[in-house]
A and B are shown apart, each in its own frame.
Chain A
Amino acid sequence: MEVIPLLKQLTEADGIAGYEGPIRELVRQTWQPFVDEMREDKLGNLIALRRGTGPEPRPKLMLAAHMDEIGLMVTGLEKGFLRITRVGGTDRRVLLGLEVIVHGQQDMPGIVATRPPHVLPEAERKASVPWDKLFVDVGLPAEEVERLVTVGDLISIRRETVELKNRRVAGKAMDDRACVAAVTLALEQLAGVRHAWDVYAVATVQEETGLKGAMTSAYGVAPDLAVALDVTFGKHPGVPDVDAWPLGEGPTLGTGPNFHPGLVKRLKEVAEAHEIPCHMEAVPGRSGTDAWAIQVTREGVPTALVAIPLRYMHQPVETLAAQDVERAGRLLAAFIAGLEADFLDRLTWDGTAAR
């Protein structure tokens, strides 16, 4: 598969946290040819299984990439304009002048707006617009808006994904559809490859609102190992170097309490053996990803995090390097192909077996 068209398709689809229907259907269709079974759990996670070839009972690896995106929701109607709040960590500073789609009785194009600067007092003009001064305008008469829209209706960002120079790609929802793309590429590469472990590829829900899909899907799958995939901060002016990674130099591997050092070491060795560039990323505490929830499911799961550097996180111009998505996919596929049936016996703490 070509990664840029895949990214475009996945990122342009709708799927705000809690309402992932459209993206789930798209991921289901995309993964269908590469997996043996698929099911949906009670929260809406899509759980796909690629069976391994080792003797039963086979150990289980879970891959997690979240398919939900951040968005907006209607909180009130005022003279035909919509008052809004965020679903997930939507960045308020970049909403002005944005085109959106209001999912009311029908889908309506709209604009996020506020009062023009010339009618504002000086102090207000210099501050970023607070939530209660933002509204969405769908350009219809008030009576019609009242008929078509109600409190609680969702509003998604309308953004076409665009290719920049050097195979960089910009759009909305790269967080975390880029990693759904990476998992897709890995599944494609595993077709026709023998691997010992059962692989559960999970497109999780509601990561943006509290890692909730990761909790329930990890409980349901009960994996022996897990690798979560998410985005990390890409370098650009204003972001301190210690907090960000260059675009185009490969994914990062998280190191810190959230991750099992033995598992991280294995991923690093695979990357080196296959000449896949990657950087280590120091995460002293919460990783802010599905890995944080998965690690403490049931009796605990050795977990790792592969992350793709992304500029402008949570803004509708999220930018990454397509090469990094490809590398993350290749890393996963190579890791899975080489995962021996008794890997868990070798995964020890100070010489003591993990189970």
Chain B
Amino acid sequence: MILKELAEAIGVSGDEGGARAVVLGAVREHVDEVKVDALGNVLALKRGTGEQPLRVMVAAHMDEIGLMVTGHDGDGFLRVAAVGGIDARLLPGSFLQVGPERIPGVIGLKPVHLLREKEDQEVSKIEDLVVDVGASSKDEAKKLAPLGTYAAFTTPFRELGPTVSGKAFDDRAGCAVLVELVRGERFGFDLHAVFTVQEEVGLRGAQVAAYAIEPHCAFVLEGTIADDTPKDKDVSPTTELGKGPAITVMDRSFIADRRLVRLLTDTAQALGIPYQFKQPGIGGTDAGTIHLTREGVPSATVAVPCRYIHSPVTMLSLDDFNNTVRLMRESLSRLTRETLS
């Protein structure tokens, strides 16, 4: 299952190789050209069947959040910093894979028995945590994991029934949707399927890819926040599992092009595909840099709702995943020059 392979691959922002290898293997035979650019983005082109085809960029980011080794402690521990936004409350108690050899490591805290009063309510800052790979000296730690070594979570992919769990569904879920689109029939337009890098550290891969492609419009595929879990106040969940692909109208990085949003909702309504709107004003995606490229690119974002993104274990609904693929395929096949006029 491509989502499983992608989720279990390792590719922290700036070191996306593990994910890139899975992506290349998955799309190579289904596209006309594929190349890897200066930042590591995978740019795949599936030419269109029409005359003077439009250039449509569809992007999903390959990078995941993780940690980087910034120092070594006297007794053989590693000091680390976050790559991308990590909720520090989640790190203690986790297992990691460190470096290209995937050395197992753990993050633990001072035991609760030894805490002074109120200390148990504090959240340790990331710079106060250490990673333990079992090294017994600073020198050994340096050899095993030199400065700059990346560390990722280890969570395996699991099927829970109507849902699945695993790490990095933000945005390996989006990558999986894109792979499915690439593996399908050709569209009228040239499909520029871009698996971007470094989204988590500033939407940077997408920026240069969009410049190179100069698309007429762009769609970004994401795994987005589902917050349909118990809460004190009755506030709108950002998105909900089981309610279908989530369409962004506005988030903190851009305002979606109304014409593309209408294409998506018209298609969904015509075909009875469930969909929801993501609560406006939350989060950001590659569309943030894509829409400002050169003189601007009309853009939209569609996401698979995922609980617990940016945590070691995320969860999504298989129905939502499949409906996202369907909504994208059907909407793209209805995309014409008229849509953008």
Contact = CB atoms under 8 A, between A and B. Distances in A.
Given A128-B120, A235-B75, A165 B135 contact: yes
Contact of A140 (B109, B111, B160, B230): B160
A141 B133 contact: no
Interface string A231-251: 001011111100100011000
A139 B73 CA distance: 40
Contacts of A128: 89, 120-123
B132 A111 contact: no
Interface stretch (A58-66, A192-200, A292-300, A314-322): A314-322
Nearest to A243: B114
B293 interface: no
Contacts of B92: 93-94, 315
Contact of B230 (A78, A138, A162, A316): A78
A277 interface: no
Contacts of B133: 164-165
Contacts of A111: 165, 307-308, 313, 315
Interface in B82-136: 87, 89-90, 92-95, 103-114, 120-123, 128, 130, 132-136
Contacts of B309: 116
A279 interface: no
B67 interface: no
A312 interface: yes
Interface in B6-59: none
B92 to A, nearest CB: 5
Contacts of A312: 106, 108-109, 111
Nearest to B279: A119
A168 to B, nearest CB: 4
Contact of B311 (A78, A79, A97, A140): A97
Given A139-B315, A170-B106, A243-B114, A113 B229 contact: yes
B75 A237 contact: yes
Contacts of A115: 227, 229, 231
Looking at A139, A141, A162, the one whose CB has the most chain B CB atoms below 10 A away is A139
A315 B113 CA distance: 11
A137 B134 contact: no
B134 to A, nearest CB: 3
Nearest to A158: B158
A96 B165 CA distance: 15
B272 interface: no
Contact of A97 (B75, B77, B130, B308): B308
B112 A319 contact: no
Interface string A109-145: 1010111111100000011110000010111110000
Contacts of B75: 235-237
B111 A314 contact: yes
Contacts of B270: none
Contact of A311 (B93, B104, B132, B136): B132
Contact of A317 (B107, B128, B140): B107
B162 A96 contact: no
B70 interface: no
A51 interface: no
A168 B136 CA distance: 10
Contacts of B120: 92-93, 128
Given A116-B309, A128-B122, A139 B160 contact: yes
A352 interface: no
A145 to B, nearest CB: 11
A99 interface: yes
Contacts of B282: 118
A98 B93 contact: yes
A335 interface: no
A97 B140 CA distance: 30
Contacts of A126: 123
A164 B90 CA distance: 21
Given A96-B93, A243-B114, A314-B112, 14 more contacts: A79-B230, A81-B230, A91-B111, A93-B93, A93-B120, A94-B92, A117-B87, A127-B122, A139-B164, A159-B95, A164-B104, A168-B134, A170-B134, A311-B108
21 contacts: A93-B112, A93-B123, A94-B93, A109-B160, A111-B165, A117-B87, A118-B283, A135-B230, A137-B229, A137-B307, A139-B162, A139-B164, A139-B315, A140-B161, A165-B103, A165-B136, A166-B136, A314-B111, A314-B112, A317-B106, A319-B134
